[in-house]
């Protein structure tokens, strides 16, 4: 049986576009000679639909789309994801489902069992879990079909009491098929490979895993769909951050899988140079439990033949592919697996792990895709931001130009009497390097007018944070005026270190429609700037080397208000990503007073983050929908 994986980018609630894309995937599968084509979780409506599924009309449109799609499932099987109505009165009204379409009919319906309700997921809010499990007979094979989280119940502390594959394996299936919409974080590819390989090692049958790709507001899906053969070999690790297609024949030996060249690769919006690392991709080996290591060993996965010796005019062409070196997930194959992203990077220095080359490459691609999809799917075209001459705005500007094109980025330089001359010249040089439009609007006169208006109230009180924030809000008003007048979207440039500690001004530098760097610590921002400059200077070197400053008062530096970023970021990562309390962090050797001060800043500034724009998520715990803390609370504050 030849099975075709269609890794595609969907648009939530855009049934016309999603249906057209799915039909196009079916056509590609037919042209490749496939018997069955596999799409991703909830591909019909897009993931996550959230409260849209509470509208009967939304569910009706899902079923109408399925009716349209099944007309194209004539001599080929089609596995698609969609909400499905629960015919029983008991329980929730909907299932998260997969439909098998064949001979223009719905032949089978599979329901998701394990409904994630943590971080960015809230599926138990909407869906009823499956209460029966069965393989699907199709063309002489038994298909064990699962949906995303259904395969993630592994390890010595599983989250759920049931594991669907434990029921399905009783029917002796020939292959495991998983339809996923699994969001990106910089440990996800390592954990994903572990999860799939662990299933293959345990059940001794091949597994095909089809993930979504694309960005849905703050959540980025990275693709990276997988094919593992029954021997535990990674036969195919599909493209990351772009649509991709792949054909696999179950009867082939692992050495000779068929590969389908993607017909859209040449049109992919993220430049190939930004997507493919020259040479092998390195995946970290896990560190065994209770073991500490200062160095990570690596396993080499050969690059896809799509990356080399490729004629972009050739489409829908199959070829033989020399198999990748099998992914070895431990000192001995099958001995150690990653079941949690928190375990990736253990034993490494936190900053070294967060800023390593692999993570920076992936984060760059994720942020470019996040910006581009936000604009395209929302119907926007042009962006603006405040170019301060600092590292954060410089990185956002470079990402915006890559994502949207230089002609669609218009920045404002807004110096005050406290701005250094080099800040203006650095910002100007960056715009010249990127060749985007920029304008200079000085804010001294506007600030003076505010000060004069408030003089009768402020009297002779000394200059303090009130005057600093006036400057920030003047800049925010200018940027929003530009955005309103010309139909731009303001990109926010705040980083995670600042958002965590409240080092920002509400309605000032915290304004914007999309937070680009809000899930990157300051040290990651510097590393990302160096990644952007990897082939030559784009961001002026002086921006990378000077001490960071908000420049809201004479000779101001960030270190006047915050601990040094290398220390701050380590403490924040332990607290936010690893959810360690103060005693656990202090036990690692950090100063107790410093730790308590940092954690108090984090918790006392929840009210600011509650008013912040969506943040593109690249970590395991981003600010926003996946981190829900009370605003009014006493803990650690």
Q: What are phi and psi of 125, to 5 degrees?
A: -65, -30
Could you give the CA distance from residue 516 to residue 397 in angstroms, rounded to a whole number? Answer: 10
Could you give the CA distance from residue 472 to residue 418 in angstroms, rounded to a whole number? Answer: 12
Residue spans of the domains in the chain: they are 2-343, 380-558
Under the banding of pLDDT at 50, 70 and 90, the label for residue 579 is very high
Specify the pLDDT at position 232. Answer: 94
% of residues, the chain, pLDDT over 90: 80
For residues 200-219, one letter each, b for 16 or more C-beta atoms within 10 angstroms of the residue's C-beta and e for the rest, the string is bbebebbbbbbbbbbbbbbb
Evaluate whether 241 touches 275 at the Cβ level (below 8 Å).
yes
Could you tell me which of 228, 223, 428 has the C-alpha nearest to residue 328? 228
The HSE-up count of residue 293 (CA atoms within 13 Å, CB side) is: 16
Structural tokens at position 337: 């697996």
Task: Note the pLDDT tens digit of each residue in 55-103.
Answer: 999 999 999 999 999 999 999 999 999 999 999 999 999 999 999 999 9
Task: Note the pLDDT tens digit of each residue in 278-321.
Answer: 222 223 333 233 332 333 333 332 333 223 333 333 333 222 22
The per-residue pLDDT of the chain, averaged, comes to 88
Specify the pLDDT at position 252. Answer: 52
CB-neighbour burial class of residue 58 (10 A; exposed 0-12, middle 13-18, buried 19+) = middle
Under the banding of pLDDT at 50, 70 and 90, the label for residue 263 is very low
Task: Note the pLDDT tens digit of each residue in 453-506.
Answer: 999 999 999 999 999 999 999 999 999 999 999 999 999 999 999 999 999 999
Catalytic residues: 41, 112, 148
Could you give the CA distance from residue 298 to residue 303 in angstroms, rounded to a whole number? Answer: 15
Helix axes 522-532, 357-378, angle to 10 degrees: 90
Residue 213 confidence (pLDDT) above 50: yes
Could you give the CA distance from residue 237 to residue 248 in angstroms, rounded to a whole number? Answer: 12
Given the candidates 1.20.900.10, 3.40.50.620, 3.30.465.10, 1.20.1250.20, the CATH classification of the domain at 380-558 is 3.40.50.620
**Better-predicted residue by pLDDT, 563 or 255:** 563
Could you give the CA distance from residue 3 to residue 249 in angstroms, rounded to a whole number? Answer: 6
What Cα–Cα distance (Å) separates residue 2 from each residue in 46, 318, 388?
A: 26, 12, 55
Task: Note the pLDDT tens digit of each residue in 344-390.
Answer: 998 899 999 999 999 999 999 999 999 999 999 999 999 999 999 99
β strands within 347-431, DSSP E = 383-386, 409-413
Cα 46 to the center of its chain, rounded Å: 15
Under the banding of pLDDT at 50, 70 and 90, the label for residue 187 is very high
Could you give the CA distance from residue 255 to residue 244 in angstroms, rounded to a whole number? Answer: 21
Which residue is associated with the tokens 């849905």?
A: 216
DSSP code for 136: E
Q: Which CATH class is domain 2-343?
A: alpha beta
Q: What is the largest CA-CA distance in the chain?
A: 87
Evaluate whether 440 touches 424 at the Cβ level (below 8 Å).
yes
Could you give the CA distance from residue 285 to residue 181 in angstroms, rounded to a whole number? Answer: 25
Could you give the CA distance from residue 562 to residue 568 in angstroms, rounded to a whole number? Answer: 8
Total Cβ atoms within 10 A of residue 17: 14
Could you give the CA distance from residue 239 to residue 8 in angstroms, rounded to a whole number? Answer: 11
* pTM of the complete model: 0.87
For residues 476-512, one letter each, b for 16 or more C-beta atoms within 10 angstroms of the residue's C-beta and e for the rest, the string is bebbbebbeeeebbbbbbbbbbbbbbbbbbbebbbbb
Find out whether the peptide bond into 48 is cis, omega within 30 degrees of 0.
Answer: yes
Coil vs helix vs strand at 105 = strand
Evaluate whether 429 touches 545 at the Cβ level (below 8 Å).
no
């Amino acid at each position: 049986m030849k099975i075709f994986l269609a890794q595609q980018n969907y648009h939530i609630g855009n049934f016309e576009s999603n249906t057209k894309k799915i039909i196009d995937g079916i056509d590609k599968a037919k042209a490749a000679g496939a018997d069955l084509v596999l799409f991703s979780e909830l591909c019909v409506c897009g993931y996550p639909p959230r409260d849209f599924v509470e509208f009967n009309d939304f569910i009706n449109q899902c079923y109408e789309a399925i009716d349209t799609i099944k007309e194209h499932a004539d001599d080929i099987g089609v596995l698609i994801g969609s909400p499905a109505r629960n015919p029983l009165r008991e329980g929730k009204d909907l299932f998260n489902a997969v439909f098998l379409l064949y001979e223009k009919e719905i032949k089978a319906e599979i329901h998701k069992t394990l409904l994630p309700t943590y971080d960015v997921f809230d599926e138990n809010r909407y869906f009823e879990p499956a209460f029966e499990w069965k393989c699907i007979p199709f063309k002489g094979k038994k298909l064990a079909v699962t949906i995303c989280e259904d395969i993630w119940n592994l390890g010595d502390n599983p989250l759920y009491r049931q594991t669907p594959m434990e029921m399905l394996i009783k029917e002796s299936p020939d292959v495991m098929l998983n339809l996923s919409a699994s969001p990106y974080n910089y440990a996800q590819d390592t954990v994903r490979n572990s999860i799939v390989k662990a299933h293959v090692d345990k059940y001794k049958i091949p597994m095909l895993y089809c993930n979504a790709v694309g960005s849905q507001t703050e959540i980025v899906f990275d693709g990276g769909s997988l094919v593992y053969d029954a021997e535990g070999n990674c036969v195919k690790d599909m493209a990351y951050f772009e649509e991709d297609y792949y054909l696999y024949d179950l009867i082939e030996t692992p050495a000779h899988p068929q590969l389908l060249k993607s017909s859209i690769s040449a049109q992919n919006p993220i430049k190939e140079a930004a997507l493919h690392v020259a040479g092998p991709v390195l995946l970290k080996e896990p560190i065994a439990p209770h073991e500490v290591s200062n160095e990570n060993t690596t396993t080499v996965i050969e690059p896809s033949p799509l990356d080399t010796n490729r004629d972009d005019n050739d489409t829908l062409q199959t070829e033989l592919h020399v198999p990748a070196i099998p992914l070895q997930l431990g000192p001995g194959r099958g001995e150690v697996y990653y079941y949690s992203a928190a375990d990736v990077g253990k034993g490494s220095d936190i900053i070294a792990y967060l800023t390593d080359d692999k993570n920076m490459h992936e984060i760059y691609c994720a942020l470019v895709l996040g910006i581009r999809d936000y604009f395209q799917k929302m119907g926007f075209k042009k962006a603006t931001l405040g170019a301060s001459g600092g590292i954060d705005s410089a990185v956002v500007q470079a990402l915006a130009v890559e994502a949207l094109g230089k002609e669609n980025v218009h920045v404002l330089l807004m110096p005050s009497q406290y701005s250094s001359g080099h800040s203006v010249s650095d910002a100007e040089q960056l715009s010249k390097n990127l060749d985007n439009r920029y304008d200079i609007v000085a804010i001294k006169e506007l600030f003076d007018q505010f000060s004069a208006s408030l003089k009768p109230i402020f009297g002779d009180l000394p200059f303090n944070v009130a005057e600093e924030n006036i400057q920030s809000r003047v800049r925010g008003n200018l940027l929003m005026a530009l955005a309103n007048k010309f139909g731009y979207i303001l990109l926010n440039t705040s980083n995670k270190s600042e958002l965590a500690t409240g080092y920002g001004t509400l309605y000032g530098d915290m304004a914007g429609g999309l937070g680009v760097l809000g899930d990157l610590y300051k040290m990651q921002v510097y590393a990302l700037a160096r990644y952007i400059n990897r082939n030559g200077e784009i961001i002026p070197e002086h921006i990378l080397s000077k001490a960071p400053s908000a420049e809201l008062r004479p000779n101001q530096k960030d270190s006047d208000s915050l601990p040094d970023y290398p220390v701050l970021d380590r403490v924040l990562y332990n607290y936010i990503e690893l959810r360690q309390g103060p005693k656990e962090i202090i036990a690692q050797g950090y100063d107790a007073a410093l730790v308590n001060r940092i954690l108090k800043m984090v918790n006392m500034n929840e009210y600011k983050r509650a008013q912040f724009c969506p943040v593109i998520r690249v970590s395991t715990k981003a600010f926003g929908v996946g981190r829900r803390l009370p605003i009014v609370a006493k803990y650690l504050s």
